[in-house]
Structure 1
């Protein structure tokens, strides 16, 4: 373990033990380095690394603070990482979504409030109104799913799935552009999800969400396999899946 890694581990231990709770200010660099028995240079690098990871917040002229450590903060970089995925890695991501989102949708059906249901209905109605505008349709599509997962009340799950969904957004836009029947099918699948949520039927909600996500996954796999085959025949190179 390098000195920087050791410094990171020791600061994390202070946070995990509660000695540095969320929102607390770290001691001055020199003092903290002396207390942990680590020189100032690796301590400085450790603080930088933890700031990038959103564990620490360096405020110039004020000091360094532990962030709220809430899921939305710590997982903030997930969406950016997902946007960089392509090819087989993106296909793996769709599998992760298929494993998590139907379960989350079933949980939402059990915990749904009237306000949550009204918000989801609003996004569904906006999707219907935007049937001829693929980009706008897909924006409301993403908002629909985000609202469903948010209805679970599980912030970690909401942040995780929101980050994953960002990687498939452009794929859904492209699908709507190249498949004439995609809009009608997408609306029908979302209506089935909403109806199950409105009835508070967790099993049906899970099934409807699984069918919807599986449709998208199958399409993405077809696109990837077609591009892979074409690239192999024409250039003997494996392309990234465009999304």
Structure 2
């Protein structure tokens, strides 16, 4: 269990036990992190995850509150989590990505022009605000550019068609896995370096490692 998952469980336990009640404001971040025995960064990630599923309500400039926990307000969030944790098709889609995308990346190392590679670097160099939405948008654009760069339009089309169904899994990973943002960008940089070196085998290996990491996380989440 990651530190963020541990923080999530502890906050949920406080709510279930009545220590935190519906509509009640959470203690100051520093105090709550100390009480839970986690870092402030891990606490922030836990709060972001719980706000996504509407257990917590983050009010800008006012603090974080336990939501009303009304059934209707939680229904969409429950559906989201059931889709993520019980639908094996998401794992199957990642399995298809694991087969197709490393090959596309190897082709990109052969066929991408210098201009195409510069566009990949431009994606890496863009300024990000650190939100999960920003990370997912970056991830989608990055992988789409490599698929197109493979020079195989059918392969690029196949990868695009299976990309959108994985968005929710990517969002949940970004919210609950420690340092997901930094790890994703670092792995993307490694892939671009291999493509720029015109090394198909290295590009394929780094792409495979990148996708397997996400797939492994998803299997743990589904366990």
Question: How high is the TM-score relative to the length of structure 1?
Answer: 0.55
* 2:200 corresponds to 1:164: no
Is the Cα contact below 8 Å between 1:134 and 1:177 reproduced in 2? yes
Is the Cα contact below 8 Å between 1:171 and 1:220 reproduced in 2? yes
Q: Secondary structure at the match of 2:120?
A: helix
Which whole-Å CA distance do the structure 1 matches of 2:129 and 2:201 have between them? 28
Which whole-Å CA distance do the structure 2 matches of 1:150 and 1:132 have between them? 26
| CA apart distance, 1:134 | 1.5
Q: Secondary structure at the match of 2:208?
A: helix
Q: Secondary structure at the match of 1:167?
A: helix
Is the Cα contact below 8 Å between 2:107 and 2:151 reproduced in 1? no
Higher relative contact order at CA 8 Å, sep ≥6: structure 1 or structure 2? 2
Give the unaligned 5+ runs of structure 1. 1-83, 226-243
* 2:98 corresponds to 1:98: yes
Is the Cα contact below 8 Å between 1:123 and 1:141 reproduced in 2? no
Which has more radius of gyration? 1
Give the unaligned 5+ runs of structure 2. 1-82
| CA apart distance, 1:131 | 5.6
Q: Secondary structure at the match of 1:132?
A: coil
Which whole-Å CA distance do the structure 2 matches of 1:199 and 1:109 have between them? 8
Which whole-Å CA distance do the structure 2 matches of 1:183 and 1:152 have between them? 25
1:24-81, CA deviations, whole angstroms, 9 ceiling, x for partnerless residues?
A: xxxxxxxxxxxxxxxxxxxxxxxxxxxxxxxxxxxxxxxxxxxxxxxxxxxxxxxxxx
Structure 1 match to 2:123? 123
Which whole-Å CA distance do the structure 2 matches of 1:88 and 1:170 have between them? 14
Q: Which runs of 4+ in 1 moved over 4 A?
A: none
Number of equivalent positions? 140
Which whole-Å CA distance do the structure 2 matches of 1:131 and 1:208 have between them? 26
Question: How high is the TM-score relative to the length of structure 2?
Answer: 0.60
Alignment of 1:15-30 (within 5 A): none
After superposition, the CA RMSD in angstroms is 1.6
Which whole-Å CA distance do the structure 2 matches of 1:147 and 1:156 have between them? 14
Which whole-Å CA distance do the structure 1 matches of 2:147 and 2:166 have between them? 16
Which whole-Å CA distance do the structure 2 matches of 1:189 and 1:180 have between them? 15
* 2:217 corresponds to 1:223: no
Is the Cα contact below 8 Å between 1:131 and 1:183 reproduced in 2? no
Alignment of 1:185-200 (within 5 A): 185-200=183-198
Structure 2 match to 1:205? 203
